[in-house]
Structure 1
């Protein structure tokens, strides 16, 4: 996990020093700046990618609550204050935690663990989304004893020939020992259409069509009689 960039914003020097001392015990958090006001912190937040903000609530000029409402992006906030009555307001702003002064190291550590868990879950979700995008945009087929990834947008049409399948792509033809039914189950129905017991076509790759056949890359592909009505309704013939 990459280091989390952090800023302390508190008008009390001693409070800043305590937080800074505590932070030194966490090697995965890097303190970028220690500021005595929101006005001092604001340009830093605009210039640098900040993950975590320790924010005092009672400050002159701009309070921590007012400042938090101005913040955009993914910065996480831990409010620090001597006033318990602001807790609800802090959590209304979706703060990760709310630390009451004087802050003990044990309580500080609990807040850091919450932050680390939040970013760990975010990273995990991002990784899942990335993997899902790969799966959504491609399929895997067995070719020459290995599973080969095939980008969906490269497929022109799929052809069944006896006991094997040909996947005709823009730049290659892949041959796999598989069933038409299994290959069809891997292809998104909104992108691909079965037009014949031996052919599945990529809808976006159709160059032209009639009631009897359609053309893809100069290849005439028959439309079977029993599938014709469904195929033509989808193609809006």
Structure 2
């Protein structure tokens, strides 16, 4: 018997996985979670052999969930977003199910868990790359995001975000008119934004290049001056990104 936990913020997604798993009596569902925080708690409690993991969820993203674990079980990602495929295989995911998927496609993923000898690692990387073409990735970057404010979700246009700064485990989106605290960490937000527009300059800061007024160069550092007057120091580990933009 192998213990399984299903993690998906959509009830329909959890139900489908549970129904498909009925074909595999050796895989026993011991818990379900609809957000990243509960997912970490369940995984620590039950120590499953396998988790089905969504990427975008309240509280913590799928990748942030894995980052909170001391021991990572086998992971099959189940998500509607194809732009995270390469990142999923970088954390050694068994498979990446792109919603909507068929029972046959689900069976292929499960076979990689129940029959490890059937996994051809050299075939997994091309699979990930086939899911993530430049054209598709460009279309997948959101134009707007929803950010919780009290009991409400408000829409923020990505183009209006001047900078993103870390706030503990969360991140603050700064616009000209307001500041919005996201439920996601700065690393998860970086993965969802167009790298041609948003550049990480510090472990705690991402800036929107459209709002950069100037960059002040010092002997061993840079300061990014934004149009709203904010000054963001470029850390040493991110200085190369600034140099790459210099002509």
| TM-score bracket relative to the smaller structure | 0.3 to 0.5
TM-score, normalised via structure 2 length: 0.46
| Relative contact order higher in (CA < 8 Å, ≥ 6 apart) | 2
Whichever of the two has the greater Rg, that structure is: 1
